[in-house]
């Protein structure tokens, strides 16, 4: 019960203050009704659906006064029946089914509540890396390569890392040499997945894999894993290894990273190495890096670049690669975030 003057009691306010933003959003979702909630969920990414669904389960026992405080924060009063409390499981399941379809919904629910599920190949993005790895570990390398090619690049890299090391280079080699996959190959892939999921999807020619896909997957790999895989690929096809390497995270990609990460990186880079690397850098990247330094440091770098004169392209590329290697090592350690290379997203 609220206090007589209409103000929330201290315990209710304390409960409210402990709620995360996701839990508050979950409360609103529980009040919207299945149709409206499913429309919102339909536009969320897989991880967002999982986080929100988990939060919806976590708030189902909240008292009404705490819910009212949340509603006040949303600047709206919703008086409709909700799934909070009794029947919450059915409510959440119905919302997920309407938003995502039964197969995807069961995939999400299998990780946030006990349930059985059956999912076709297009549900793989909704599964965690370990589940996918366990699903495909005993399949032919070509099937494994096809499956990983269909995944988000970061998820694909995580799955690759969970497979036996003896398989990893072969999988990347096959991904890099994939082009268009026709209905026959997809039919075989679907057959394999059907034995796991007991479901099917429509068959059509699809473009998967390729050097760019292999490179993007490798961008998310740790440096030691990358080095080992590249070495193994080079034993059989050095030109393919070089093609993948050239398409991976390069010096110009630094422009996508946030200023704080670049500032941290620049503090670890020798000035002479940076001068050499910036001689061949795009003007926009130069400006971004200069903005991450003090005006005095940027002026000194510019002066040294002018004094250096012409340099060989190979020297510039070597310097840039050395900086990228440092950046990737720091990214692996969690010291910086390299946009487009992997790691967690921050908001």
| pLDDT at residue 168 in the model | 92
> In terms of pTM, does the model score above 0.85?
no
Task: Check pLDDT > 70 for residue 120.
Answer: no
**DSSP letter for each residue of 278-332:** HTTS-HHHHHHHHHTS-HHHHHHHHHHHHHH----HHHHHHHHHHHHHHHHHHHH
pLDDT band with cut points at 50, 70 and 90 for residue 116: very low
Task: Check pLDDT > 70 for residue 59.
Answer: yes
DSSP E strand boundaries for 74-198: 180-181
| Average pLDDT rounded to a whole number, residues 172-181 | 81
* 16, 17, 71, 80, 293 from 65: Cα distances, Å: 9, 13, 10, 15, 51
| pLDDT at residue 163 in the model | 92
Do strands 180-181 and 206-207 pair parallel, antiparallel, or not at all (unpaired)? Answer: antiparallel
Task: Check pLDDT > 60 for residue 252.
Answer: yes
Most confidently predicted of 7-11, 97-101, 114-118, 306-310? 306-310
CATH code linked to domain 126-247: 1.10.220.30
| pLDDT at residue 78 in the model | 40
Task: Check pLDDT > 60 for residue 199.
Answer: no
What span, in angstroms and rounded, lies between the C-alpha atoms of 132 and 121?
10
Contact between 220 and 182 (Cβ < 8 Å) = no
What span, in angstroms and rounded, lies between the C-alpha atoms of 169 and 226?
9
What span, in angstroms and rounded, lies between the C-alpha atoms of 47 and 128?
10
Q: Among the CATH numbers 2.40.50, 1.10.10, 3.40.1710, 1.10.220, which is that of 10-117?
A: 1.10.220
pLDDT digits (tens, 9 = 90+) for 218-250: 877 777 888 899 889 989 888 888 888 777 777
CATH T-level topology, domain 251-333: Annexin V; domain 1 (1.10.220)
Task: Check pLDDT > 80 for residue 261.
Answer: yes
CA dihedral 200, 205, 210, 215 (to 10 degrees): -40
pLDDT band with cut points at 50, 70 and 90 for residue 123: low
CA dihedral 338, 340, 342, 344 (to 10 degrees): 80
| pLDDT at residue 251 in the model | 80
- How high is the mean pLDDT of the chain? 76
| pLDDT at residue 160 in the model | 92
Q: Determine which of 16-20, 109-113, 115-119, 218-222 has the lowest per-residue pLDDT on average.
A: 115-119
pLDDT digits (tens, 9 = 90+) for 133-165: 888 888 888 888 888 888 878 888 889 999 999
Range(s) within the chain of domains with CATH label 1.10.220.30: 126-247, 251-333
Task: Check pLDDT > 60 for residue 346.
Answer: no
Most confidently predicted of 24-28, 59-63, 98-102, 202-206? 24-28
CA angle at 301 for the pair 295 and 306, rounded to the nearest 5°: 125
Contact between 279 and 308 (Cβ < 8 Å) = yes
Task: Check pLDDT > 70 for residue 119.
Answer: no
| pLDDT at residue 343 in the model | 44
State both tokens at 152.
Answer: 């988000």
Q: Determine which of 78-82, 172-176, 264-268 has the lowest per-residue pLDDT on average.
A: 78-82
pLDDT band with cut points at 50, 70 and 90 for residue 50: confident
| pLDDT at residue 11 in the model | 65
CA angle at 74 for the pair 68 and 80, rounded to the nearest 5°: 55
Who has greater pLDDT, 122 or 269? 269
Q: Determine which of 14-28, 95-109, 127-141, 283-297 has the lowest per-residue pLDDT on average.
A: 95-109
| pLDDT at residue 217 in the model | 83
What span, in angstroms and rounded, lies between the C-alpha atoms of 303 and 279?
12
């Amino acid at each position: 019960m609220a206090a007589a003057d209409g103000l929330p009691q201290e315990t209710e306010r304390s409960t409210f203050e402990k709620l995360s933003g996701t839990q508050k959003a979950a409360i609103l979702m529980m009040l919207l009704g299945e149709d409206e909630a499913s429309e919102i969920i339909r536009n969320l990414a897989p991880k967002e659906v999982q986080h929100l669904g988990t939060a919806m389960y976590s708030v189902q026992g909240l008292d009404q006064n705490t819910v009212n405080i949340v509603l006040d924060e949303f600047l709206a009063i919703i008086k409709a029946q909700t799934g909070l409390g009794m029947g919450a499981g059915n409510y959440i399941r119905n919302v997920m089914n309407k938003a995502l379809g039964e197969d995807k919904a069961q995939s999400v629910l299998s990780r946030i509540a006990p349930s059985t599920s059956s999912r076709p190949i297009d549900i793989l993005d909704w599964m965690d890396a370990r589940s996918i790895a366990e699903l495909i570990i005993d399949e032919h390398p070509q099937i494994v390569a096809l499956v990983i090619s269909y995944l988000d690049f970061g998820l694909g890299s995580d799955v690759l890392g969970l497979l036996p090391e003896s398989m990893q280079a072969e999988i990347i080699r096959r991904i890099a040499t994939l082009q268009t996959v026709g209905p026959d190959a997809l039919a075989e892939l679907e057959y394999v997945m059907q034995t796991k999921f007991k479901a099917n999807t429509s068959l059509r020619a699809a473009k998967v894999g390729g050097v760019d896909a292999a490179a993007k997957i490798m961008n998310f790999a740790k440096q030691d894993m990358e080095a080992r895989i590249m070495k193994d690929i080079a034993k059989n096809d050095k030109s393919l290894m070089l093609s993948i390497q050239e398409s991976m995270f390069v010096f110009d990609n630094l422009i996508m990273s946030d200023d704080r990460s670049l500032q941290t990186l620049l503090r670890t880079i020798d000035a002479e190495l940076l001068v050499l690397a910036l001689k061949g850098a795009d003007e926009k990247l130069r400006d971004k890096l200069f903005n991450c330094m003090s005006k005095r440091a940027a002026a000194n770098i510019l002066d040294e670049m002018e004094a250096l004169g012409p340099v060989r392209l190979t020297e510039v590329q070597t310097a840039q690669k050395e900086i990228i290697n440092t950046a990737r090592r720091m990214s692996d350690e969690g010291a910086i975030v390299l946009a487009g290379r992997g790691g967690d997203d921050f908001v």
